[in-house]
Structure 1
Amino acid sequence: MQNQPNTRRVPVGIVALGATVAIAAGGATAWWVFKSQPSATPDPSPTATVAPQTETPATLPTEAQKVEIYLLEDTGTEFKLESTPVSVEASAEPDALLRAAFERLFSQSGEVRGFSAIPPETKLLDVSVKENGVFVDLSAEFTSGGGSSSMMGRLGQIVYTATSLNPNAPVWISVGGEPLELLGGEGLEVPQPITREIFDREFSL
């Protein structure tokens, strides 16, 4: 079957469910007042001037943003991995957008099609975008349960969601702060860093 845009095939053996997290970035405010200083000689003006108080946001405001997450969909004869656009509340900063995307992926809240091979107890510990790639740290639940097909499916979901802002970016995956080298009881080896191209080549999807 010919692949559709933004679509990757996943073996039928994947069995997993995904179970709302809305990300809202808070902000602090700073206040300052400029007051005229008394001069050594009498001020000829009738009154001293005081600058008006001004509120300045310390962080970028949050608003609805569109991001893409990757879920599995049953076509009736097989499962496929495809992008699903969702709305999240986050600033336009890459870190904030990807964090919101992953939280949405793990919760699968709202009107989204498909399901996830990622264990529903999995938590995002950290995600950051740096010059040398996207760094994703997951909780230990990510590695629990399922066979090799399930492991490949959930790995693909992480790699593709992490690179939704930049499809060519390398991804560094860790679990509990430790680099993920082997996934699952069958010891699925995970290259570090991993890209979409490496994933497609190494895991034949």
Structure 2
Amino acid sequence: MKTQHIHLIHQEAIVGFALLLLAAVGGGAWWVWQTTTPKSLKQTPIPSRVEKPPVATVPPTVIPYQTQQPAIVTVPPTAIPYQTRKPSVMTVPPTVIPHQTQKPPVATVPPTVIPTPLTTSTPKINQQVTQLQAQTYWLQATDEQIRLVPQEVALKPEDSSEVALKTAFDNLFTSSKTSNLTTTIPAGTRLLDLQVTKTGIYVNLSKEFTQGGGSTSMIGRVAQVLYTATSIEPEAKVYLLVEGRLLDEENPLGGEGIILTEPLTRQQFAQDFAIQA
């Protein structure tokens, strides 16, 4: 028993000495570390272990379980009274416009009287008025020379120039010759058409106009047609056609081959052929 007690004392002494030595060594090491370590490192404590920050625990909210549906507020419908009758319409009496039995008076303006100017009587001067009339031209032979002699044609006052000339040609082709007047136009010649235009007078004859006779006869019949066509307007130009074909250099007249220069005029014809009117 005494031996065990002594042995325990020795063990405690050893443990105390070891602890003292450990504390001395640890204190010296700590002092050395404090003197050699920079202040910035000293101020940052290094935790021995990482611990999670405490988490605030919130107790769960308990929602009571609804065993029944919430009550629904019902609104009673608004009752609209039914109209058994149509709403009353306000009637406006029509406006009565008085009937006018008489027309309103119209202001009459008296007409303006324009005084008649005084006319002075002037003595009339006798002037010779030459009135052109449609004429037919016939041939007259005197001393081996042929002349054209005009004959007046009875016309109506309302006849136009075309109507007057057509009437003159009808008389020329159908009238018989007299003892001193003759014609070289072949029998049966007819006027197919006649037109008075701004460019001239177009005379279209039937094919009988080209038949028979010599050069003198041909010249005489062309002169009769030319002067009869220009009896109303002597300066007019005449285009002579046979069956619609113009008599010109390419289409001479008759077998003798008399060449006509279109359009025909009295002045040019008198220069080309020896004939007088």
| TM-score higher than 0.5 | yes
For residue 195 of structure 2, the aligned residue among 128, 147, 165 is 128
Q: Which structure is higher in helix share?
A: 2
Q: Which residue of 2 aligns with 1:85?
A: 152
> Of 135, 149, 155, which residue of structure 1 is paired with 2:216?
149
Shift of the 125–80 alpha-carbon distance from structure 1 to 2, 3 Å rule, reads: same
Deviations 1:72-118 (A, max 9, x none): 12446543212111224584211100000000011115989612110
Distance 1:77 1:178, change over 3 A: closer
Given residue 162 of structure 1, which amino acid in structure 2 is its aligned partner?
A
> Quick one: higher RCO (CA 8 Å, sep 6+), 1 or 2?
1
TM-score (norm 1): 0.63
User: 5+ unaligned residues in a row in structure 1: which ranges?
Assistant: 1-65
CA distance in structure 1 between the partners assigned to 2:158 and 2:179 by the alignment: 22
Partner-residue secondary structure (3-state), 1:146 = coil
Matched, 1:189 2:259: yes
Aligned residue pairs, count:
141
| Structure 2 letter corresponding to 1:96 | V
CA contact (8 A) 1:171 1:195 kept: yes
- Point out the more displaced range, 131-140 or 75-84: 75-84
After TM superposition, which residue ranges in structure 1, 4 or more long, deviate above 3 angstroms? 74-79, 88-91, 109-113
Distance in 2 separating the partners of 1:187 and 1:104: 28
Paired residue secondary structure (2:196)? strand
What is the aligned-residue RMSD (CA, Å)? 2.3
Change in CA separation of 1:147 and 1:84 when aligned onto 2, cut-off 3 Å: same
2:269 to 187, 199, 205: 199
For structure 2, the residue ranges without an aligned partner over 5 or more in a row are 1-132
Could you tell me whether the CA contact under 8 Å between 1:89 and 1:100 is conserved in 2?
Answer: no
- Could you say which structure has the larger radius of gyration? 2
Among 156, 161, 171, which residue is 1:104 paired with?
A: 171
Aligned residue type for 2:214: G
User: What percent identity do the matched residue pairs reach?
Assistant: 39
Of the candidates 158, 163, 172, which is equivalent to residue 225 of structure 2?
Answer: 158
Structure with more of its chain in strand, by fraction: 1
